[in-house]
Amino acid sequence: MYVQLLKMIGFTLLMLFSLTPNFAESANILYIIPFPSMSHYIYLRSIGLELAKRGHNVTVITTHLEQNPLPNYHQVQVVKSNFWELIGGEKPNVFDMADISAEEFHKKIHWPGSIGLINVVLSSPEVKEFLKKDNTFDLVICEQFFLEALHALSAKYNAPLAIISTFGNCMKHNFATGNPLQLATVTAEYLDVHNPTSFWGRLRNFYFTVYDYFWWKYWYLGKQEELVKKYFPELGDNTPSLYELQRDAALMLINSHFSYDTPSALLPNIVEIGGVHLTSNNASLPEDLQKLLDDSKDGVVFVSFGSNVRSSELPKQKKDAFLNVFRGLKQTVLWKWEEDNLEGKPDNLVIRKWLPQKDILAHPNIKVFIGHGGLIGLQETIFNGVPVVGIPIYGDQYNNLLLIEEAGAGKLLKYHKINEETLYKTLNDILNDDSYMKSAKDMQRRWKDRPMSPMDTAMFWLEYVIRNKGAEYMKNPARNMSWFAYTMVDVYAFILVIFITVIGSFVKLLITVKKYLSKPQKKVSTKKKRA
């Protein structure tokens, strides 16, 4: 009896101990994702919900609310804001942005938008109420996208910081943490370079990267620091600067994967979790859509320009080009169109104000997707192996689509080049040539071929930095070196000086020897002649 009881206790203890290393027990996590864009939220919500599912006590600062979250998922709501009002203007016709340079886009949209948004977040009543409370956190996770002032919450709670980006490589973070920039192959995240590895492509990338870095570090971060002073006066002067917080972040999770994005060197605490929002358990489609897709035996062309771009703002000429090309197709066309009516709509075109993009793309009858190449949506086409006709408008869209085109899984059509002829040719090339579908399926297979799902990867590393209290040892020692030591400029300069000295001495020696030889030379030669 007694022995058996001991055995049982021993077994239970063994079970407990063998299990514990796999868990970073339930942790208190602050998750800061207030950026109002729906596509960012679609990506980021998956991580917060999964952390709660795994038993962590998650507090989320967010603009969008979940309807029925777990009881350990606490939402602190940010007042809904209109991004365009934040930068002091009406919502522009987004198609006009196809003309804006990356520099202008930062100066006119990203930077003022960020300052406006952070003011909205930190003066939202729920957020103010939450910040007054005496909470403690084991980890602060913050989105990277122009939200630096909010990184200061990791200093406020004295907790390690993990940063999550909804895009891939981040040049400013690379600079700060000492991750190689790889300017010859890796393009800055919001730059549209048409031929990235050409001389002009590399020059353009170099120029923009330097421009962005200096404005960011010496102007923009200053504005962000002012916001920190305004909203967190209790932090005082001893807290790390926002630059230091980014530099010392425990973890950076980036939305890329080398099977699609340009392969690049990454520090151990920069981890690719591209497509973390995508899972195979397909939600069922609304009945009418399911029937429409099932019945379209010749296939379906699916058109959507995402949540920020309204197709109905297309100028008439371009809209007519689309309608005329669609009219000639035997396929059904499904278009996310934000108005009730569409004049001149052909019979094979179905319009809806809202469409469940992810679930539609999973349907086997989808033959091609037409969209702007926003990364979150584009990853849904990769995940489902659907070829793309991409019409880039702004930000990283051009680069994203260039990668698709290079992989043979689609074609890029510049906005200004759209007319009936170009659209007809591009679309029919893809519909009639199987190679696009084949390449899209290849890409889909490679995208999913990983040792761990992107979600498991994200969870592992977030729990890893909690378990290891910020994993200080994982950070690059380059963070604390001067730029000339890190770039080896001092060593190269030293070698250059030695080299010049040696060559100089050698030349001097030669001259001396020559001089010395040229005098006695006559004697020698006369001796020789005599002999």
Ligand X SMILES: *[C@@H]1O[C@H](CO)[C@@H](O)[C@H](O)[C@H]1NC(C)=O
CB of 24 to ligand X, least distance (A): 14
- Provide, for the chain, the percentages of residues in helix, strand and coil under a 3-state DSSP scheme, each rounded to the nearest 5: 55, 10, 35
Nearer to ligand X, 49 or 478 (CB): 49
| Strands annotated E in 217-371 | 251-254, 270-272, 300-303, 332-336, 349-352, 366-371
Q: Output 193 or 362, the one with its CB closest to ligand X.
A: 362
Between 140 and 191, CB nearer to ligand X: 140
Please give the backbone phi and psi of residue 57, each rounded to the nearest 5 degrees, phi first.
-90, 100
Minimum CB distance to ligand X smaller for 127 or for 321:
127
Least separation in angstroms between residue 64's CB and ligand X is 17
**What's the first-to-final CA gap in the chain, in angstroms?**
119
Task: Supply the minimum distance, in Å, between the C-beta of residue 62 and ligand X.
Answer: 12
- How far apart CA 32 and CA 97 sit, in angstroms, is 28
Nearest Cα residue to 251 out of 160, 117, 123: 160
Smallest distance, ligand X to C-beta of residue 427, A: 24
DSSP state of 412: E
Beta carbon of residue 38, minimum distance to ligand X (angstroms, whole number): 22
Least separation, in Å, of the C-beta of 41 and ligand X? 19
Residue 496's contacts (CB-CB under 8 Å, 6 or more residues apart) are none
Contact 115, 223 (CB under 8 A): yes
Q: Would you say 124 or 397 has its CB closer to ligand X? A: 124
Q: In whole angstroms, give the CA distance from residue 400 to residue 443.
A: 14
User: Closest CB to ligand X among 57 and 262?
Assistant: 57
Residues that bind ligand X (CB under 6 A): 28, 57, 59, 74, 135, 282, 362-363
> Do 415 and 404 meet the contact criterion of CB atoms below 8 Å apart?
no
Q: What distance in Å separates the CA atoms of residue 209 and residue 170, rounded to the nearest whole number?
A: 10
- Nearest CB to ligand X, comparing residues 297 and 530: 297
Helices (H), 261-343: 287-295, 316-327
